[in-house]
Amino acid sequence: MLKSKSIIWLVLLLVVGIGAACDGQTDEANKFVDEGNAIVKKYNDISPKAVDSLNALMGEKMTQAEDLEQYKTANKAKFDEVVSLYEQLDKSGTEAAAKFEQASKVNTDAKFKEYAAAKAQEFKKRAETDRASATFVKSFLAEKDAEKADRQVADYNKKNADMIKEADGLMAKADQIVKDNPGVFK
């Protein structure tokens, strides 16, 4: 009798201990997600400016310019600002991805881990997209051959659209996980 009560107490203590440990791990995972979300907020503040600035520079004014090299030279400071914005986005996206990656590795609910992993993948892809945008602007500015520059623009537009589509798909996956599991995400 005494032995069975000891076993019951031991099991009860073990269950309470595991519960407390899991709760602490959930708190740790939530902390990483909160940190990632704070970085995402900064990312979202910068992103529209980068996109709008690049679109303005690469839009109608550029296509109507009589001399592309003169246009690039006259707008060099604006192009440099766009590169800087995309480099900031790359850095923020990489940092956010790392936080979500950390959250996905904490021992917690499987759906929570799946969500965090999807967010990590999303922001890795967004950082890759932003890095490609910065690289594109630099190579576009350096290109002196107008035909090659046109090909660069066309290639960039296709690759950029594909990468954004992939990142948006990962975002939709994460959002669906949250929607399908309201008990996990409060």
The string of pLDDT tens digits covering residues 56-92 is 999 999 999 999 999 999 999 999 999 999 999 999 9
Residue with tokens 């956010």: 96
Torsional class of 54: left (φ above 0), alpha (ψ -120 to 50), beta (otherwise): alpha
Q: Could you give the CA distance from residue 103 to residue 88 in angstroms, rounded to a whole number?
A: 23
* Residue 183 phi, psi (nearest 5): -70, -25
Give the chain's end-to-end CA distance (angstroms, integer).
43
For residue 155, give the nearest of 183, 177, 135 by alpha carbon.
Answer: 135
Would you list the domain boundaries of the chain? 29-180
Question: Maximum CA pair distance of the chain?
Answer: 96
The string of pLDDT tens digits covering residues 101-142 is 999 999 999 999 999 999 999 999 999 999 999 999 999 999
Let me know if domain 29-180 sits in CATH 1.10.3470.
no
Q: Could you give the CA distance from residue 38 to residue 32 in angstroms, rounded to a whole number?
A: 10
For residue 47, give the nearest of 159, 129, 165 by alpha carbon.
Answer: 129
pLDDT of residue 23: 53
pTM of the model: 0.85
